[in-house]
Amino acid sequence: MVIAVTGKSEKKPSCAKKLEESEAKAQEYLDMARRLQADFENLKKRTAKELDDFKKYATADMVNEILTVTDDLERALNHADQESELAKGVGAIHANLMKVLVSRGLSEIPTEGRFDPNCHEALCVCDGEEDGMIREVFQKGYRMGDRILRYSKVMVTKAKQEGEEQCQE
């Protein structure tokens, strides 16, 4: 009978050890499944965001090309007799085109006040009372959402330093 007890006591630690190993493996597999599930959720979110961004900016290149047409329409309106029927028609076409572009998320970059290198491009500098103020706008800038499609091209002022001579033009 002593042999049977010895045999049972040797098998118990072995069973307990196997059970412990099995539980550790099960926990490892559970952790792995949770990580995979989290990775999958992150992939779904990232893919949804990329798709949303694609939808939002898919037309950006086309809108950028259309902006050259709106610039041409504005130049034509600036040089036309404002009372003529042709100018009124071109003005209406320009207004409708801008309304469509604005409905697609286009917005003009403000050019009043201070120069901002994040959305303005300085083409030249002129004398002024204060540094960094926008004096003249050569070409309007536009953004679509938070993405800049075209920087505003502007003239920026620079304050005249004492003792500095004014340049002759």
Rounded to the nearest integer, the mean pLDDT of the chain is 86
Residue ranges of domains in the chain: 1-58, 59-104, 107-160
pLDDT tens profile 9-54: 555 668 888 999 999 999 999 999 999 999 999 999 999 999 988 8
pLDDT tens profile 69-81: 999 999 999 888 8
Position 11 scores a pLDDT of 53
Mean pLDDT value of segment 125-144: 92
**Is CATH 3.40.50.1100 the right assignment for the domain spanning 107-160?**
no
Position 105 scores a pLDDT of 87
Cβ contacts of 125 within 8 Å, gap of 6 or more: 155, 156, 157, 158
How far is 143 from 116, CA to CA, in rounded Å?
14
How many CB atoms are closer than 10 A to CB 53? 12
Position 50 scores a pLDDT of 92
134 token code pair: 């926008």
